[in-house]
A and B are shown apart, each in its own frame.
Chain A
Amino acid sequence: MSALFKPDETFRDDFTFRNSPAAIRRFPLPFAEDQYMYSVNIEPHLPGPRGSVLEFGFDVDEHYVAECRERNLVLAAEPLRFQALPHMMSAQWDCLELLMESLARDYPAHFSLTRQGNRWHWINRPLGIDQHFTFGDPATLPREPLDYIGRQAQGDFVVMDQREGDLWTEAGVVTTQADWSLDFDVGMTFKEWHGPVPLAHEMNVFDRALKYLLALRLGQPVRRLNWTMTINPRLDTSPENYPYWGPDRTRVTARNAGELVHLRVEMQTLWRLPRSNGVMFGIRCYLISVAELATVPHWARRMHRVLKDLHPALVDYKGLTRYRDAVVEWLAPFDDGTPTSPGTAPE
């Protein structure tokens, strides 16, 4: 079992994170065509092909143990990366139930959940956790429910309350974000929180997305992909720590771009929560270096074209300004002009 995980990988300092060939092949490429623009690209979160990142509701991959350790490091240094307004307690329990049930059902070798009424017993083998607790009673867990389970799942979780015809961001555990602050945004409505995203507002993307999410149904989650780029395989690219990771953007050259620059894809899933009637927003982060990505020939060609022609407002908003040209130059030799077939599969 331990051969499956790479527990000593790091997402900071020496950055030993690497994708195995298998991880590369299952990477969720966000570009189905040679150019990219926003869309309300929401689709039902139905089970995907075996072995793919979509096979299960919440994907656990070779980086699981290392990512959980990284999350604990961030939370130890900055406890406010977990927040929950007082009225969100039942939503926190909903999230805990959803994650525990899913992980135990989909990865029985790693997790198990047994229940007798409200007396629950949770085992997390990769992290060495064995916990008895009473569902609904916060005193029986070492931390608040979302904080507790958030440290045992990959990706960020944002929890929204639904009221007054809107969604309110009022709880979350956010340590692997692409440059937004939970502490600053807590209390905001859906459109306020997305305020900084350029162009999309004019395209009514958020009006339509909000309407769709307000009608989200129990048992029918949805998903979409989002993407940006990161220098080094750094998960914590929060605004809080921008002074530390910002300077990395200046270190990219056309020579090292393949190794330093990483494509960062967010698999976003949205779930209606049963007892609180809230919405849980899972933001699962996948990283791949440009060099790793280029080992798949037609991904290299596609990435080259998408970046070359990206709308300037998106280049700016996604923080690519300083190094986009270096990456394009690094990828150029891979692009011989051959057409790429539409779709995101490695073949």
Chain B
Amino acid sequence: MLITGIKSKPVYAPLCADVTGRHHLMLGVGLGGAALLRVVAELETAAPAALATTRVLLAAEDTFERTGIASLARFDDQAPLLEAFTTALEGSLMGTRLYVAGPESFIGRAMQIALRFNLNKDEIRAEECGTLARRVRCVHCRTTTEEVRTNIVRCAGCDRWLLVRDHYSRRLAAYMGVMVDAEAPGELPPIREIYL
């Protein structure tokens, strides 16, 4: 079961402005503010008219200078930001581009919401920054364990030791966890903190 090199792990890239879009909606958490500032700066140069309908939702400590954008809303926490995001999508039009910058677990949650509005990969850009900690879904008891930094983790639901695989579900916004010692109970591979 120790499979490596899985191709279903999501891949992220540094954010850059998509000038083919007419409206831009941006979400930033933690260290994500810097990436969004960069995108706004790019739009200022390449497509300044788009700034007038650019909206930013931020749960970060960065100072974010308002630079002619339509709105900037700040939140203390991910949860209220995601709520505001849902409302924003309800009023959004075709031609919108979504930018998400923050830890992967946040990106996953934002994608789940975007999925409901039929936004696809051509309309979304995501940059991972901050912790690599994963959400892990136990395939046995279906509990999701949050903030997993190690390659092996104890399931928060059924207590089994799970191997944290690279196989990722966008629908569940989580990586798969499978019992690691079924064939040799108690024999665990070395536990390493690799998702820092």
Residues of chain A touching chain B, judged by Cβ–Cβ distance below 8 Å, are 80, 164, 181, 183-188, 191-196, 198, 201, 239-243, 246-247, 249-250, 316-317, 319, 322
Contact = CB atoms under 8 A, between A and B. Distances in A.
Given A188-B171, A195-B6, A242-B1, 20 more contacts: A183-B139, A187-B170, A188-B169, A191-B7, A192-B8, A194-B7, A195-B166, A196-B3, A198-B5, A239-B178, A241-B140, A242-B140, A243-B160, A243-B182, A246-B182, A247-B182, A249-B183, A250-B184, A316-B2, A322-B183
Interface string B134-147: 00010110100000
Contacts of A240: 139-140
A239 B167 CA distance: 13
Contacts of B57: none
Nearest to A245: B182
Contacts of A246: 179, 182-183
Count chain B CB atoms within 10 A of each CB in A186, A191, A239, A319 and give the residue with the most.
Answer: A239
A196 to B, nearest CB: 5
B139 A196 contact: no
A187 B179 contact: no
Identify the interface centre among A80, A186, A192, A194: most chain B CB within 10 Å of its CB.
A192
Given A183-B142, A184-B137, A242 B7 contact: no
A195 B183 contact: no
A195 B7 contact: yes
A117 B184 CA distance: 58
Contact of A195 (B160, B167, B178): B167
Contact of A187 (B5, B171, B182): B171
Contacts of B7: 191, 194-196, 201
Contacts of A184: 137, 139, 167, 169, 172, 176
A242 B182 contact: yes
A164 B178 CA distance: 32
29 contacts: A80-B142, A183-B139, A184-B167, A184-B172, A184-B176, A187-B169, A188-B169, A188-B170, A188-B171, A191-B7, A191-B8, A192-B8, A194-B8, A195-B9, A195-B166, A196-B3, A196-B7, A198-B5, A239-B176, A241-B140, A242-B139, A242-B140, A242-B182, A243-B160, A243-B182, A246-B182, A249-B183, A317-B3, A322-B183
Contacts of B5: 198
B181 to A, nearest CB: 9
B104 to A, nearest CB: 16
Contacts of A317: 3
A196 B167 contact: yes
Contacts of A188: 8, 169-171
B182 A186 contact: no
Interface in B129-182: 137, 139-140, 142, 160, 165-167, 169-172, 176, 178-179, 182
Contacts of A201: 7
B120 interface: yes
Contacts of B2: 316
Nearest to A197: B7
A98 B2 CA distance: 39
